[in-house]
Amino acid sequence: MLDKQIDFLAIGDITTDAFIRLKDAHVTCAIDKTKCEICLKFADKVPFESVTIVKAVGNSANASVAAARLGLRSALVSDIGKDENGADCLAQLKKEGVATSHISAHRGIPTNYHYVLWYGDERTILVKHQEYPYHLPHIAQPPKWIYLSSLGANSEEYHEEIIGYLAQHPEVKLAFQPGTFQMQLGVKKLAALYKRSEVFICNVEEAERITGLSSGEGRKEIKTVMNALHALGPRIVHVSDGPKGGYVSDGRNRRAPIAYFMPIYPDPKPPLERTGAGDSYASTFVSALALGKTFEECVQWAVINSMSVVQYVGAQEGLLDQKAIKGWLKKAPSDFHLKVL
C-alpha cells in the first residue's frame, strides 16, 4: 500500500479494551442529570456478567479502520510494546486493511490495555497511556489527510514535531479530534494545530472546556461556542451532543460561518453500548470529504456510521462500508437533513 499515496494517515495511541459488563451497580447524577457517577460496593466482591476483549482500538486506530472500510488507503502512526498484545493489535489492523509500517514497537514498554466498565448502554473507561518515546516516522510520500487524536501525557514535543511536518507540507489537510491530554495542554500550546485544522471535532462538554463558554440550551449559545472554535483557526467545526444530535459549522465563509443542526439517525434497536460513537462520526465525516462527497452527505454518512457502531460491543465491529451506508441513507426519514441554526 505504501508505494501509493496514503489517503488517510491517523496519528494517535492504540490500545486493547476489556469490556467488563456489570450487573450490580447504580448511577447517581446531579438534579440536571449531569455529573453522573457510577457506584459499586466498596471493599466487597462485585459480580459481573461477562468480559469482551477488543483489540487495536483507540481514537486514531478506530479512525484508521473506519477509513479503510470506506475504501480509502489508510495507515496508522502509533506505538506498541514488543509483546503479545501488540502483535495481536498489528494483526487486527492488517486484517482490516490498515497499513502498519509506521507503527513502532518498543522493548520494555507494554502495549496499552484499558478496562471498560460497561453498565446499561454507557461505559466508564479506566485508562493508562504508556509513556512511549514518541517520534514521527519517515513518511515517504505526504498523505492527503492527517487525522490526529489522543496521545499520552508525555507527547508535548511530539506535537511540535507534527506541527513542523505540517508546516513543511501545506498540501496535507489536517483533521483534529483532541483527546484528554491534548485538551489539558491548552489552546495556547497547540495553537498551530488549531489554526492548521481543516476539520475540528469535539463534543459539547469539550467545546465548553476549550472555549471557556457555555453552550446553554439555545441555538444562539451553541453558535457562539462554534464561532469561538472557528476563531482558533479550523475551517469546519463539529460539536456532537450525544443522543440529541450534533452541530456542524462550515467556515468556508470566514466572516459568517453557516452553522447547522443534524438530528441522529433513528436507532433500529436500543443502543448496546456507546464506545466509539464519536470516533466513527468524526472519521467517517473526514473519510467522506476525502472521497469527494457533498458537505451534507459527509454529515449524513457520519451520523449513520455512528448509529451503527452503538449497536455492537466496541468501537469497530459496527463500522460500515460505503454500500451499507448508502443502504441506510435510502431508508432515512424525510427530515434527515441539515437544518440551518
* CATH number of the domain residue 90 falls in: 3.40.1190.20
The C-alpha atoms of residue 202 and residue 179 are separated, in whole angstroms, by 9
User: Is residue 2 situated within a structural domain?
Assistant: no
The C-alpha atoms of residue 155 and residue 132 are separated, in whole angstroms, by 9
The whole domain housing 203 covers 8-340
Instruction: Look at residue 218 in the predicted model and tell me its pLDDT.
Output: 61
Give the cell for residue 125: 473507561
User: Is residue 322 situated within a structural domain?
Assistant: yes
Q: Please, which residues have CB within 8 angstroms of residue 339's CB and are 6 or more apart in sequence?
A: 260, 261, 262, 263
Choice between 110 and 215, residue whose per-residue pLDDT is larger: 110
Domains held by the chain: number = 1
**First-last CA distance in the chain:** 42
**Res. 123: pLDDT tops 90:** no
User: Is residue 181 situated within a structural domain?
Assistant: yes
| pLDDT classification of 254: cutoffs 50, 70, 90 | low
User: Is residue 246 situated within a structural domain?
Assistant: yes
The C-alpha atoms of residue 121 and residue 271 are separated, in whole angstroms, by 6
Average predicted confidence (pLDDT) for the chain: 93
Instruction: Look at residue 285 in the predicted model and tell me its pLDDT.
Output: 97
**Res. 2: pLDDT tops 60:** no
**Res. 48: pLDDT tops 90:** yes
User: Is residue 66 situated within a structural domain?
Assistant: yes
User: Is residue 269 situated within a structural domain?
Assistant: yes
Q: What is the pLDDT of residues 136-154, one digit of tens each?
A: 999 989 999 999 999 999 9
Exposed/middle/buried for residue 66 (C-beta within 10 Å: 0-12, 13-18, 19+): buried
The C-alpha atoms of residue 307 and residue 266 are separated, in whole angstroms, by 8
User: Is residue 1 situated within a structural domain?
Assistant: no
User: Is residue 307 situated within a structural domain?
Assistant: yes
Counting residues of the chain whose pLDDT is more than 90, the rounded percentage is: 82
